[in-house]
Amino acid sequence: MAWDFETDKEYQALLDWAEEFLETKVEPLDMVLGSPMEYQDPDFIRNVRPLQDEVRKKGLWACHLGPELGGLGFGQLKLALLNELLGRSRFAPVVFGCQAPDTGNAEILAHYGSDELKDRYLQPLLNGEMASSYSMTEPQGGSDPTQFKCMAVEDGDEYVINGEKWFSSNARYASFLIAMTVTDPDAPAHERATMFVVPTDTPGVNIVRNVGVGDEAPGEGTHAYVRYEDVRVPRSNMLGPRGKGFAVAQTRLGGGRIHHAMRTIGQCKRAFDMMCQRSLSRNTKGEILADKQMVQEKIADSWIDLESFRMLVLRTAWRIDKYNDYLKVRKDIAAVKAAMPRVYHDIVSRCIQVHGSLGVSNELPLTGMLLGSYVMGIADGPTEVHKVTLARQILREYEGTEDLFPPYTLPNRRAAAIAQFGDMIEREVENW
Ligand SMILES: Cc1cc2nc3c(=O)[nH]c(=O)nc-3n(C[C@H](O)[C@H](O)[C@H](O)COP(=O)(O)OP(=O)(O)OC[C@H]3O[C@@H](n4cnc5c(N)ncnc54)[C@H](O)[C@@H]3O)c2cc1C
């Protein structure tokens, strides 16, 4: 009997260690340090590096890639259980060496990079020595990659890149970008693009400005508007075959989306915990909030949302491990991606409401989390697109009928049942 909802004892012990380590040593860093991506900052070196060493010693470092891909990982299901803890803290993914977008970029490099690219970029990325950025979305449209215009033109042994990219997260901290370019504009829509590693110090890689989300101060954001101006990269920096950029992107995006979902569970749990604590602490009209049925409904609905989302994420992670082929889990990942913003949004909204004025104040992280729920409905493709993917994948398993009344109408089913069993149950059939 293979269905089992328990974590094995040895791994649970590691998770318990991680939970305490996060609470006591990592979450406090969220309160005192700036960006988790500033690897060269003296405060980072002094405070974060020793914690990374502790994680390495425990064997929990960079668990997103398995040994066959150059990592130390142990599959997506175990990663999910770890990531839902890491999701609670801003610094946790960096301390454990599994932060976006480096995880997805490492996955592309592991699958498609030459040995030289792996030595130069994958290993330092997995070691936490350098940061990376993924440069795909363009200012004129992100949801429809067939509209992309950033071109890479072959010139001898090099490609010359010209164009613009929008929301290339962490480009300001990155040593290299993985850029999606159009190399074959006349090919069918999904065979026009090619992916390249572009070192950020290459002449012509220019950050127009760093865009922030919400009320981040102008220029303080981490999502770069990048202009590529006659950027030359060697042919050997190509990732995957020419014209196969869309397929290469899927390698990255599948993993990236489920990792966001795992961490989102952590954020939802955080909001849920706050809501429960507040309900048991605040009095109004002679009773605690927890005694009011409309508050109880918020808690019950949030628990159901969270637990059912968590099961969907864990099952999807399990299926990724089982099939080791993202194409076979497209439906599951699309479902997770489409469910994530709604679950996150609804739980955080209820938590805000239960906290009243404190909930909307700048003394709780809840308004930022609410914005985070919208980000989850946009980054890595908007919810609408994932719902379309999900519906299409589901509908592949069905067939329509040309009959005027479909076979599942009760008269048709009854007729079929009589044909099958009529002789044996004469009396009931007569009564119909
Ligand atoms: C915080 C954050 C980080 C990001 N990081 C990166 C990154 O590192 N690298 C990178 O390349 N990109 C990144 N992105 C960009 C992200 O991938 C795009 O924002 C996303 O693909 C949507 O593209 P768009 O913003 O151009 O929206 P548009 O394509 O303009 O779409 C706008 C809206 O139109 C609707 N819509 C679009 N298509 C459909 C459809 N088929 N059916 C129905 N409605 C539809 C949706 O409501 C959608 O939200 C990031 C975005 C965010 C918010």
Give the tens place of pLDDT for each residue, 264-279.
999 999 999 999 999 9
Is residue 371 within 6 Å of ligand 1 at its C-beta? no
Identify the residue whose C-alpha is closest to ligand 1 atom 49: 382
Identify which of 90, 137, 165, 380 to mutate to test ligand 1's pocket (most ligand atoms within 8 A of the CB): 137
Which tens digits make up the pLDDT trace of 124-161?
Answer: 999 999 999 999 999 998 999 999 999 999 999 999 99
Whether the pLDDT of residue 429 is over 80: the answer is no
Question: What is the pLDDT at residue 70?
Answer: 72
Q: Give the pLDDT band (50/70/90) at residue 431.
A: low
Closest CA to 251 of 120, 63, 115, 65: 65
CB distance 381 to ligand 1 below 6 Å: yes
Task: Give pLDDT tens digits for 205-226.
Answer: 999 999 999 999 988 899 999 9
Q: Is the shortest distance between the CB of 222 and ligand 1 below 6 Å? A: no
Strands 158-169 and 174-182: unpaired
The mean pLDDT of 327-353, rounded to a whole number, is 97
Residue 136 CA, closest ligand 1 atom number? 11
Q: What is the mean pLDDT of residues 304-311?
A: 98
Centre of ligand 1 from the C-alpha of residue 377, in Å: 8
Rg value, the chain, Cα: 25
- Span from the CA of 108 to the centroid of ligand 1 (angstroms): 21
Q: Looking at residues 342-355, what average pLDDT do you find?
A: 98
% of the chain with per-residue pLDDT over 90: 89
Residue matched to tokens 């370019």: 181
139 lines ligand 1 (CB under 6 A): no
C-beta 363 within 6 A of ligand 1: no
Instruction: Find the 380 Cα to ligand 1 centroid distance in Å.
Output: 7
Beta-sheet pairing, 193-199 with 238-239: antiparallel
Q: Does the C-beta of 213 come closer than 6 Å to ligand 1?
A: yes
Whether the CB-CB separation of 253 and 247 falls below 8 Å is answered with no
Cβ within 8 Å of residue 362, ≥6 positions away: none
pTM of the predicted structure, to 2 decimals: 0.94
Confidence of residue 32 (pLDDT cuts 50, 70, 90): very high
Residue 363 C-alpha to ligand 1 middle, in angstroms?
30
Ligand 1, atom 16, lies closest to the CA of: 379
Banded model confidence at residue 255, pLDDT cuts 50, 70, 90: confident
Question: If 0-12 CB within 10 Å is exposed, 13-18 middle and 19+ buried, where does residue 46 land?
Answer: exposed
